[in-house]
Amino acid sequence: MMNTPLILTQMIERVEKFFPNKQVISRTSTGVQRFTYKEFGERTRRLASVLTKFGITRGDKVGTIAWNHHRHLEAYFAIPCIGAVLHTINIRLSPQQIAYIINHAGDKILLIDEDLLPIVENCKDELKNVEAFIIMTDRPELPETSLSPVYHYEDLLSEGDALFTFVKDIDENDPAGMCYTSATTGLPKGVLYSHRGIVLHSFALGLADGGSVSEKDTAMPIVPMFHVNAWGLPFACVWFGSNLVLPGPNFTPKILLELMVSEKVTISAGVPTIWIGVLKELENENYDLSHVRYLLCGGSAAPKGIIKMFEKKYNIPFMHAYGMTETTPLALISRLKSEHDELPEEDIYELKAKQGILVPGLEMKVIGQNGEVKWDGIEMGELCLRGPWIASSYYNDDRSEETFKDGWLHTGDVVTVDKSGFVKIVDRTKDLIKSGGEWISSVDIENALMAHEAVFEAAVVAIPHEKWQERPVACVVLKDQYKDKIIEDELYEFLKPQFAKWWLPDKILFMNEIPKTSVGKFLKRALRDQVKELLNV
Amino acid sequence: MMNTPLILTQMIERVEKFFPNKQVISRTSTGVQRFTYKEFGERTRRLASVLTKFGITRGDKVGTIAWNHHRHLEAYFAIPCIGAVLHTINIRLSPQQIAYIINHAGDKILLIDEDLLPIVENCKDELKNVEAFIIMTDRPELPETSLSPVYHYEDLLSEGDALFTFVKDIDENDPAGMCYTSATTGLPKGVLYSHRGIVLHSFALGLADGGSVSEKDTAMPIVPMFHVNAWGLPFACVWFGSNLVLPGPNFTPKILLELMVSEKVTISAGVPTIWIGVLKELENENYDLSHVRYLLCGGSAAPKGIIKMFEKKYNIPFMHAYGMTETTPLALISRLKSEHDELPEEDIYELKAKQGILVPGLEMKVIGQNGEVKWDGIEMGELCLRGPWIASSYYNDDRSEETFKDGWLHTGDVVTVDKSGFVKIVDRTKDLIKSGGEWISSVDIENALMAHEAVFEAAVVAIPHEKWQERPVACVVLKDQYKDKIIEDELYEFLKPQFAKWWLPDKILFMNEIPKTSVGKFLKRALRDQVKELLNV
């Protein structure tokens, strides 16, 4: 067979040739703009030529600080297609973290959205390698900024070469992109995405049994393009010629729904928070979403109730997916199997609330206390993944060894696998409670508690125990109207029928709030310290 | 990213783990047998262990002479998954050709269907490397044969190891399979398929915009497993967990249709001759084919009338695909684009009769007399293909240079490309008529003639011409009831409105038959000689 490489240039060349009239619909601060893929191709080639003129070459890192819009999409292809590395910077990190990752990656140029300039201005004095700041704006003039030297994206493009030839002899194992993931301790860790990894991941997104992304689709990634390549949708959609709707900055559920209606979106992807917001807006107003083939949900687990609401009340298929920065990200997808066809409705939703089945192209194993776990939906173990779109290390980072062992990515997620191969996350390894040699899932107890009408939120952590090593303690925030009206005993009575006796928390503490990370996840480390202090253990 | 290779062991491991209860339905000479993929996995591991005991190791070639059935499928995986090379032998070649390819490949073991033994017996004295003949039969005893040493497939399997571990460190560029293609002149030419090529080709078969093969499918490849891997369906179906129906030897359209009904087949694949037979049977009797998602047709072009009959009369989606032994084979597929949604019916069938659009992962160019042709549906050029599942040479063959030039496969097919990127084969380069520096498609004139009610078949060839270099001459066989009742002039009047004047044949010859190859294609070389003699040019 020919040794033609799996590289991104093929994707853009395919869309230019075969789907020149399909569209990128881009919502920016000034309104909705439309570009055909022919125009997209020309603008991307212009940008590639401009970057080349700036001296960007093989292996150089170019950072983006941007929302989901057409210019960001141009950067997604222009940078890798000259052999350089697209570094998508998570705008939600702290200024120190942002300065750290820009320096750690060694970004030579930053492409920055006008309204995100303060993020860079706040840390500009710490930046070591950045030689130019290119501002992405719809306005003809450059905004006021303390950054220097600054350039106007559109001015540069107008001088670029619309017929620029992409670099052809890229090695498929060369990095095309990179993204940093926030660590539980310490500074963010970088993951490099190879051309090969992205192409194969795009194949998975196009599989009938994967994302089934097709030319007939109009896809709207709501998940940010600064977050694991917007789950790979920009690459797959360009390759397959799907229309792409990029919802830009400061969107609301209403704006998203209006875009979905006006553009006849067939696929959209986002985290549970987004879908909960969309669901609320659907309660307020009527939207015709009959064209939606599915909504993809990842990042964290969507409650079963949300899935049911979308599917039963609004007739919109809803699909869980699982992945992480280290997995490009698609690894699992909750696409039901033919053996599930005849299941009763409750069992269907039980399955749909799981993270799903492994996508073709990857391998998984789940390592419990005694080696690989039984596929019984009960035994718990850490999910380990392997495959050509799974990272093999963090970029220049000593912490790689903790996560990448024996050729496998150890995800840190504790899961069960049922007999049909469906994976369900039950905890993070670090949050799992090890009591008397057995594992207790903090997440299961939390979910049970949060199903009580009085409970606003609940987090369960381990405290040290002389005999059992660790024991669970639950921290509960009550809804305002129930404050001081519920006692520990009532919650115990509620939990008892649902769990083995030894799973029940040793103590239920009532709190005013539970400490959280910047993205709204429980900060269990801090909570554990707080609980230990309170209980004096 | 991890450097995990793209190899076939992953496919079988996936189906064993995730789809153990899905089925292989195998029709053999004794009836229809069923195996779960769990059983398939165990039997395949047994076979792999047996082959290892025979001393088969990395790079060794193992030949198969067999119909489509479960044992052949086991060989499809057992051989490559120990690093050896599956050589599927075309049973329709002559004894000399078969002896040549077995020796040229260097097959060490042959797996042979009981009823195909004569093929090998006829050439056994010429075989140089074959050390063992393994007979695939449902009967407990070995058949009478002059071959030696012979072994009974099932006896060997019963001694094999159902827990055998496949070879894990296969390089993805190592050959997994091979197939010989008959050449227009000389002996057959061999093509090696790499693990990487087959895995990527399977991805293409699974793409929503490719073959869309899914776990929910039940696929029946009618195209023989000795013919370009049955178009790759055995690999894709095992990987994705689709049920596989293998229709075995001596099937009739009735048998095929009964299997399609009883197994609720969703996808089937075959050459036009098969589908014409199926269509005739559909006229005779009622079959419930409502579960069929599509019929795939390749090998040669299906007439538009056939496509229309299936779709309009029987409501069965019918899809053209294009490929060749050198392309694993899927290269083009006539899946309509969204821009075609609003086309009038006639235009839709015009498109569906074309070979279709390039599948993701490959590159194409069409080289005419002045470089790349315009995509206007008119300008003709040779289709050239490039990509990771396109062969780069023939196996140990001096003739490679004619076909593989400048990193491209020159298919020898002359095509047009329309503005939507749909490719239509208009001729073979060797059959194209070059008149006064312009090209004339022999196929177009043939099709036009064959649309005349009096014409049974028609072939058009070039004869040398002093001024114009070449000129077309048509050879026509009339239907019995029209013999001696139609004259040249009437056919000219029929052709005139359809073609430019200079396309019209210089002469229309009436013949009793047109010489054909063993697979029923016009033997244009012989016909050209015949015409030259007749016309004395």
Q: What is the pLDDT of residues A211-234, one digit of tens each?
A: 999 999 999 999 999 999 999 999
Sheet order of strands, B243-246 included: B31-36, B23-28, B243-246, B218-221, B267-270, B294-297, B318-322, B332-333, B357-358
Backbone angles phi, psi at B262, to 5 degrees: -70, -35
What mean pLDDT do residues A83-91 have? 97
Give the pLDDT score at B437. 80
Ranking A91-100, B364-373, B518-527 by mean pLDDT, the lowest is: B518-527
Residues of B with CB below 8 A from A203's CB? 200, 203-204, 206-207, 360-361
Give the pLDDT score at A523. 86
> In this structure, what is the dihedral angle of CA atoms A368, A372, A376, A379, given to the nearest 10 degrees?
-10
Examine the pLDDT at A413 and tell me if it is beyond 90: yes
Examine the pLDDT at B432 and tell me if it is beyond 90: no
CATH of region A9-251: 3.40.50.12780
User: How many whole angstroms separate alpha carbon A352 and alpha carbon A309?
Assistant: 12
Examine the pLDDT at A41 and tell me if it is beyond 90: yes
Tell me yes or no: is domain B432-535 CATH 1.20.1250.20.
Answer: no
What mean pLDDT do residues B97-108 have? 97
User: How many whole angstroms separate alpha carbon A236 and alpha carbon A234?
Assistant: 6
User: How many whole angstroms separate alpha carbon B216 and alpha carbon B328?
Assistant: 24
What superfamily in CATH does domain A362-428 come from? Answer: Luciferase; Domain 3 (2.30.38.10)
Q: How far is B216 from chain A (nearest CA, A)?
A: 6
Six-digit token string for B514: 């047109």
Examine the pLDDT at B86 and tell me if it is beyond 90: yes
Q: Which segments of chain A belong to CATH 3.30.300.30?
A: 434-535
User: How many whole angstroms separate alpha carbon B43 and alpha carbon B235?
Assistant: 16
Q: Which segments of chain B belong to CATH 3.30.300.30?
A: 432-535
Nearest to A360 among B3, B14, B338 (CB): B14
Catalytic choice (A36, A38, A39, A181): A181
DSSP sequence for B406-420: TTEEEEEEEEEE-TT
| pLDDT tens string A15-38 | 999 999 999 999 999 999 999 999
Q: Assign domain B361-430 to its CATH architecture.
A: Roll (2.30)
Q: Which segments of chain B belong to CATH 3.40.50.12780?
A: 9-251
> If you count residue pairs, one on A and one on B, with CB atoms under 8 Å apart, how many are there?
147
Nearest to A215 among B239, B337, B361 (CB): B337
What secondary structure letter does DSSP report for A437? T
Six-digit token string for A446: 């939390």
Give the pLDDT score at A428. 84
Nearest to B390 among A2, A196, A409 (CB): A2
Instruction: Confirm whether B434 is a catalytic residue.
Output: yes
Q: How far is B338 from chain A (nearest CA, A)?
A: 6
Q: Which segments of chain B belong to CATH 2.30.38.10?
A: 361-430
Examine the pLDDT at B184 and tell me if it is beyond 80: no
**Interface predicted TM-score (ipTM) of this complex, two decimals:** 0.92
What mean pLDDT do residues B404-415 have? 96
Give the pLDDT score at B185. 67
Q: Which segments of chain A belong to CATH 2.30.38.10?
A: 362-428
Residues of A with CB below 8 A from B239's CB? 360
Give the pLDDT score at A300. 82
User: How many whole angstroms separate alpha carbon B85 and alpha carbon B96?
Assistant: 22
| pLDDT tens string B51-85 | 999 999 999 999 999 999 999 999 999 999 999 99
Question: Residue B468 class from Cβ within 10 Å (0-12 exposed, 13-18 middle, 19+ buried)?
Answer: middle
Give the pLDDT score at A184. 63
Q: How far is A297 from chain B (nearest CA, A)?
A: 20
Angle between helices B488-495 and B442-450 (to 10 degrees): 110
pLDDT-based confidence at B202, cuts 50/70/90?
very high
Instruction: Confirm whether A181 is a catalytic residue.
Output: yes
Sorted by sequence, the CB contacts under 8 Å of residue A312 that are 6+ apart come out as none
CA angle B248, B254, B258 (to 5 degrees): 75
Contacts 24+ apart (CB under 8 A), B481-484: B482/B453, B482/B454
Instruction: Confirm whether A439 is a catalytic residue.
Output: yes
Percent of chain A with pLDDT over 90: 85
What mean pLDDT do residues A62-79 have? 98
Residues of B with CB below 8 A from A357's CB? 18
pLDDT-based confidence at A303, cuts 50/70/90?
confident
**What is the SS3 assignment for A199?**
helix
Residues of B with CB below 8 A from A192's CB? 1
Catalytic choice (B264, B374, B434, B479): B434
CB–CB contact B1 A388 (8 Å) = yes
CB–CB contact B337 A194 (8 Å) = no
Residues of B with CB below 8 A from A214's CB? 208-209
| pLDDT tens string B242-284 | 999 999 999 999 999 999 999 999 999 999 889 999 999 999 9
Contacts 24+ apart (CB under 8 A), B8-11: B8/B77, B8/B80, B8/B81, B8/B176, B8/B195, B8/B198, B8/B199, B8/B235, B9/B81, B9/B166, B9/B167, B9/B168, B9/B170, B10/A361, B10/A363, B10/B199, B10/B239, B11/B77, B11/B199, B11/B202, B11/B235, B11/B238, B11/B239
| pLDDT tens string A232-276 | 999 999 999 999 999 999 999 999 999 999 999 999 999 988 999
| pLDDT tens string A421-469 | 999 999 888 888 988 888 898 988 998 998 899 999 999 999 999 888 8
Ranking A70-74, B71-75, B386-390, B482-486 by mean pLDDT, the lowest is: B482-486
Give the pLDDT score at A519. 65
Examine the pLDDT at A142 and tell me if it is beyond 80: yes
Instruction: Confirm whether B114 is a catalytic residue.
Output: no
- Residue A231, CA distances (Å) to A205, A211, A219, A268 in order: 9, 11, 12, 11
Give the pLDDT score at B358. 98
What mean pLDDT do residues B425-436 have? 87
| pLDDT tens string A308-345 | 999 999 999 999 999 999 999 999 999 999 999 999 99
CA angle A204, A208, A213 (to 5 degrees): 65
Catalytic choice (A304, A434, A516, A532): A434
Give the pLDDT score at B536. 87
Instruction: Please provide the average confidence, as pLDDT, over all residues in chain A.
Output: 95
Q: From 3.20.20.150, 3.30.300.30, 3.30.750.24, 2.60.40.10, which CATH number describes the A434-535 domain? A: 3.30.300.30
